Chains A and B, each alone.
Chain A
Amino acid sequence: MEKTLDTFKIGEKGVIIKVNGEGVTRRRLFDMGVTPGANVKLVKKAPLGDPLEVTIRNYELTLRKNEAKQVILKVEE
């Protein structure tokens, strides 16, 4: 099943298929390891529901739902 990262539930895991968007923000996401093939796990949400914390390539990354919307993943069953 394909899903964007901002719709993930806590604890859910997936593999990145595609990163949409353009410009510097997408570039930054690439540089931080958010590229196709990477395994992602949604660890938690901040107290006010946003931003998100994910584990990717063995480290913790935080990004907003707005940016997470651009990341499309295949959800692990």
Chain B
Amino acid sequence: MIRVALAGNPNSGKTTLFNALTGSTAHVGNWPGVTVDKREGEYKRKGFEPISIIDLPGIYSLSPYTPEEVISRNYIIDEKPDCVINVVDATNLERNLYLTTQLLEMDVPIVIALNMIDVVQKNKDEINYKKLSKALGVPVLPVSALKEKDFSDLMQTVNEEASKKRKGTTLLDKTKLNDLINQIKELYEEKDESNSLFHAIKLIEGDSIEKKDHDKIYQKVEEAKSNFNDEIFGNDLEAIIADERYRFIQAECSVSFKRHQEVEYIVDKKGRKKKVKEGTISDRIDKVLTNRVFGLIIFAAILFLVFHLTFGEDLFYLNAMGVFNNTDVTLGVGTTWEGILFSSGAGIQSPGVLLQTILVGFTDFITEQVGVGLDLAGASSWANALICDGILAGIFSVLSFLPQILLLFLFFSILEDSGYMARVAFILDRIFRRFGVSGRAFMPMIMGFGCSIPAMTNTRTLATDRERTATIRVIPFFSCSAKLPILTACAGATVTLFGVGNADLITLGMYGIGIVIAIIALLTLRNTTLRGETPPFIMELPAYHWPKFSSLMLHVWDKCKHFVKKAFTIILVSNLVIWVLQSFTPSWQYIEYGDEGFVTSLTTNDSILANIGKIIQPIFTPLGFGSQLGTFGWVFAVGAITGLIAKENVIATFAMLGAVVASVPGVGGIVSDIEGASDVAMMIQATNINIPGILAFVVFNMTTIPCFAAVATAKAELNKGKLKNTIFFWLITSYIAGTVIYLVGTWWWTTFIVLVVIALLIVSIHFINKARDKRANLTLKN
């Protein structure tokens, strides 16, 4: 099977083309650097041999700057595809063709796909493909990866080209560098290297990878360099080559692009000349969104709106404003759906909460029916408990958050595909710099709200190792969708039980605490173990466009599948294990319970789970959910531990325990329309934990070691040997954060002690760093 690689600038539409050719659903977004790993698919059409297609991360040149760009370069050099489709953004020819001039130097057949041709046509611009193809010496085909369905012309050409062999060509052969290039190229050929032309030119450019691999040959370049003299650039060969490339593009290629002449004036009915509004719509939207005064405020408002639409119990604050205090209007009284859309007690729900309520009504119904069915079928009480309280309660408690997770994900996808995220990076860079990272780090961080795993992989687009390590370490603090149930359920329980505040705002506040901890952690890391220069920030800002409905739905659907699959695999298995551990004593006696409480003298406190929990429980005493919590205190310790496998397990564990703990005297009777809240409320009643303790529990779960899968990703993305420290960092951070919150919340005067300790730490870090710099300066001088 022939293999065809897609190469091109970031954001040129490679993945869109890949999806269209192979029927895949890989992530597409209006942000340079969405794809960070290669991905394979198959092009299958009638009349064609199947072709293997490989999507690669976007690159601006074949001298990689970041790790994901290395992947693309290495793929083309090492894996030697049969043909490369160079995806070129036709609205941005000059910069895109710069990469093309380098690809042409490789010994591989190339076909140029001029993408986004729909936009070119809409702008009434014209491109002369024949002229372009002649100048470059390879086929050029106009396509629109987004709008077209049929790519048989393109693939036909690819098939033809792949069967021929192509030797690299360079535009530099007409320059005075030609002799040097040929000389170096021969040295490579003597070593039987393929792509000799490409390697030779890279070496002359002083490419760092090339220099490392061929330091012997590089000495020849150095020699030639010392004799070289250009009237403008001296012997700066790197600059000369970049200059020549762009010169060629301007002279040979830009002529094939004819820009539609904008009319400057229109004549209105009365014959007056009127100036046409300056700038495209995109420009005008941009003026508002990145406004010097309002830019940051607009961003904060958008973020709040996204969270409010997802979690808001009281969408328009009708209830908070007391609009319905004296009238009792609740829709659908007496039905299962009582108060679902609207109730005077809670106002109007946000779409996220509404969808959740509907789903919960449905799953509750299933659980009930299954329970009745099992009883009728004469199933034993433990089988009934296993299925209803074990499997169903656990899974449904997790699944019920699916609507909110998908909605949050949808909002972020809209922001991403519109091109706004890139502007946010632009707006926030100045602030992020203070924390030692560049504005680019914003993308992996916001992705963290969805899932830490792709977020950690996305750090490949960051420019320096230390920035990458620091970002990976704080990503879990941006609470992922699996932690969302912990946040909302604990917030809901606190509100219902203690009658304080508003669940919506508490949830938002907890997200906020996570972000604050991330900032403190970044500052600390970048001033201690990961000290280094602030990485540069050079980024393309893609044009705004309307998010495409079908690709949004694809993203959401992908996320949905992933989540449901996880619920029925890893979470189901964890639930089964936890149920067994909580239902049997260490000597494998079944702990039976019924509506009236435990049937025998055995209670859940005698279970294996409780015994394990009690051993770990003391560790959490400083955080407020340890030994001070009496006999049932182990539930929180157990929750925190099961969360290490998958964070969904925390609330699933509580849901399973809820069924048994409810039979403890003085527990139960809490009704909350917030999913999971009544389970957490029962844990609170059983243990008498205080509010700071709950908060510390949430913060601990939010900032501690993430789930197994995320740890595995961190291991893959971090440099060798960094994982151990990273895990240690997570443990320490969560422990300290939890302790501080519990202490300060319980005894307000401890604030002073905490502040003094922080001040002392800051001062000592400052002096240690000063001493270090001094020493570094001294060694430099010597």
Interface residues of A (CB under 8 A from B): 19, 24-33, 35-38, 44-51, 53, 57-64, 66-67
Contacts and interface: CB of A to CB of B under 8 A. Distances in A.
A66 to B, nearest CB: 7
A68 to B, nearest CB: 10
B170 interface: no
Contact of B429 (A24, A31, A46): A46
Contacts of A48: 430-431
The 7 closest A-B pairs by CB, nearest first: A48-B430, A30-B242, A31-B61, A60-B541, A47-B295, A57-B94, A31-B60
Interface in B410-427: 426-427
A51 B439 contact: yes
Contacts of A51: 426, 429-430, 439, 537
Contacts of B540: 32, 59-62
B299 to A, nearest CB: 9
Grouping DSSP codes into helix (H, G, I), strand (E, B) and loop, the B interface class, with mixed when no group exceeds half, is: helix
B296 interface: yes
Given A24-B208, A61-B539, 18 more contacts: A24-B463, A27-B65, A33-B94, A33-B98, A35-B242, A35-B243, A36-B232, A46-B427, A47-B295, A51-B439, A53-B426, A53-B541, A57-B92, A58-B92, A59-B95, A62-B537, A62-B539, A63-B538
Contacts of A31: 60-61, 63, 65, 98, 242
A70 to B, nearest CB: 11
Interface centre among A49, A50, A60, by most B CB within 10 Å?
Answer: A60
B290 A67 contact: no
A46 B243 contact: no
A19 B292 CA distance: 28
Given A19-B239, A46-B295, A46-B429, A63 B537 contact: yes
Given A24-B65, A47-B296, A53-B541, A33 B95 contact: yes
Interface string B240-252: 0011001100100
Nearest to B296: A47
Given A31-B60, A33-B95, A61-B538, A45 B292 contact: yes
Contacts of A37: 243, 246-247, 250
Given A28-B538, A62-B541, A50 B290 contact: no
Interface string B219-259: 00000000000001000001100110011001000000000
A63 B65 CA distance: 15
B293 interface: yes
Contacts of A64: 429, 536-538
A1 to B, nearest CB: 19
B183 interface: no
A44 B292 CA distance: 9
Interface string B286-307: 0000111101100000000000
A47 B427 CA distance: 6
B69 to A, nearest CB: 10
Contacts of B295: 46-47
A44 B284 CA distance: 13
Contacts of A53: 290, 426, 541
Contacts of A36: 232, 239, 243
Nearest to B63: A27
Interface string B532-564: 000011111111000000000000000000000
Nearest to A47: B295
Given A37-B247, A57-B94, A62 B538 contact: yes
A67 B538 contact: yes
Contacts of B537: 51, 62-64, 67
A19 B242 CA distance: 11
Contacts of A62: 426, 429, 537-541
Given A27-B65, A28-B538, A62-B541, A33 B246 contact: yes
B448 to A, nearest CB: 23
6 contacts: A26-B238, A28-B60, A51-B426, A51-B430, A58-B94, A63-B538
Nearest to A49: B430
B476 to A, nearest CB: 28
Nearest to B293: A47
A63 B543 CA distance: 17
Contact of B95 (A19, A28, A47, A57): A57
Interface centre among B94, B95, B293, by most A CB within 10 Å?
Answer: B95
A44 to B, nearest CB: 7
A6 B292 CA distance: 17
Contacts of A24: 65, 208, 463
Interface centre among B250, B291, B439, B538, by most A CB within 10 Å?
Answer: B538
A67 B293 CA distance: 24
Given A36-B243, A57-B95, A47 B291 contact: yes
A28 B65 CA distance: 7
A59 B238 contact: no
B538 A25 contact: yes
A29 B539 CA distance: 10
B232 A27 contact: no
A55 to B, nearest CB: 10
A47 B290 contact: yes
A66 B536 contact: yes
A56 to B, nearest CB: 8
A48 B542 CA distance: 21
Nearest to B430: A48
Given A46-B427, A47-B291, A59-B92, A35 B246 contact: yes
A25 B208 CA distance: 13
Nearest to B250: A37
B239 A32 contact: no
Nearest to A50: B430
A24 B94 CA distance: 21
A47 B290 CA distance: 7
B65 A46 contact: no
A51 B238 CA distance: 26
A31 B232 CA distance: 19
Contacts of A67: 536-538
B56 to A, nearest CB: 16
Contact of A61 (B291, B293, B541): B541
A25 B534 CA distance: 12
